[in-house]
């Protein structure tokens, strides 16, 4: 008999166990690189390119963290634009592919890290200077509801004052993608049903209400044709937020 659950972190880990099979799937997800998965293409997100081209994010800012980097398409783009990049993913297969792409592109200075960024296992690797940009393309919508607080704590800890946080995630509603079940249903089913869909209102509530983030942009991702140099699928939200507390002038 096990009756050792007593702390908040114990409860979170207990709930994590309900979705262990969802996490395990990433170990095999990248085994077949020929599958027609939209984000397997070696193209950066159109919104990310736009943030830098339009001056919303300054590439001279310095350090960037790519959460759930997959095969590295956005990490490579950020390195090309002059960022010092750390890229994290759960999947060894994804990181092997990303490292291959980085070598081919001559960006061997990208630091690829394997593991769960929200479990504390990577704290030693990540806990250097804070990041000027944290970018999440498709990681957030695969988190179970009880880990949203962990995610927000992670941003607070690792995002520099005045820094930017940007994400893409499944959009609820017409032409969207992801599950629109209410949060309790995921625990009843012990499944994330392929990822959670969000509304614009829910994203604003999560990332701007009672946080230090301010919204700079929130819209559906633009569709990009196959010939485009950018990735774009309109079933995703794109969001850009800025940490609004005063910069640390001692850095």
Give pLDDT tens digits for 176-223.
999 999 999 999 999 999 999 999 999 999 999 877 899 999 999 999
Assigned domain for 39 exists: no
Assigned domain for 125 exists: yes
Assigned domain for 166 exists: yes
Q: What is the pLDDT of residue 61?
A: 65
Q: What is the pLDDT of residue 247?
A: 52
Assigned domain for 2 exists: no
Q: Which domain holds residue 168?
A: 8-32+44-243
C-alpha to C-alpha distance for 19 and 9, rounded to whole angstroms: 16
CB atoms under 10 Å from CB of 95, counted, come to: 23
Q: What is the pLDDT of residue 4?
A: 85
Assigned domain for 238 exists: yes
DSSP state of 109: T
Assigned domain for 129 exists: yes
Q: What is the pLDDT of residue 107?
A: 87
Domain holding 138: CATH number? 3.40.50.150
Helix (H, G, I), strand (E, B) or coil at 2: coil
Closest CA to 147 of 196, 112, 113: 196
Q: What is the pLDDT of residues 121-149, one digit of tens each?
A: 777 788 778 999 999 999 999 999 999 99
Report how many domains make up the chain: 1
The answer on pLDDT for 54 being more than 70 is yes
Cα–Cα distances in angstroms (integers) from residue 153 to residues 99, 142, 209, in the given order: 29, 17, 14
Assigned domain for 219 exists: yes
Assigned domain for 248 exists: no
Cα–Cα distances in angstroms (integers) from residue 184 to residues 65, 169, 181, in the given order: 31, 20, 8
Q: What is the pLDDT of residue 23?
A: 66
């Amino acid at each position: 008999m096990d009756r050792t659950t007593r702390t908040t972190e114990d409860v979170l880990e207990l709930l994590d166990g309900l979705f262990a099979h969802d996490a395990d799937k990433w170990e095999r997800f990248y085994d077949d690189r020929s599958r027609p998965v939209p984000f397997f293409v070696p193209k950066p997100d159109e919104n990310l390119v736009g943030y830098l081209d339009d001056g919303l994010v300054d590439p001279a800012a310095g350090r960037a963290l790519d959460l759930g980097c997959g095969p590295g398409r956005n990490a490579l783009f950020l390195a090309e634009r002059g960022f010092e990049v750390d890229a994290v993913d759960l999947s060894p297969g994804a990181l092997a592919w990303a490292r291959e792409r980085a070598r081919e592109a001559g960006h061997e200075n990208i630091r690829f890290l394997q593991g769960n960024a929200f479990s504390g296992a990577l704290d030693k690797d990540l806990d250097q200077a804070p990041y000027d940009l944290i970018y999440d393309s498709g990681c957030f919508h695969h988190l179970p509801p009880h880990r949203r607080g962990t995610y927000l704590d992670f941003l607070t800890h690792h995002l520099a004052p005045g820094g930017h946080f940007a994400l893409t995630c499944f959009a609820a509603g017409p032409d969207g993608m992801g599950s629109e079940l209410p949060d309790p249903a995921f625990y009843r089913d012990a499944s994330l049903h392929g990822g959670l869909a969000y509304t614009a209102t829910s994203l604003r509530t999560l990332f701007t209400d009672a946080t230090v983030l301010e919204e700079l942009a929130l819209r559906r991702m633009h569709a990009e044709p196959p010939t485009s140099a950018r990735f774009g699928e309109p079933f995703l939200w794109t969001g850009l937020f800025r940490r609004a507390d005063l910069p640390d002038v001692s850095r």
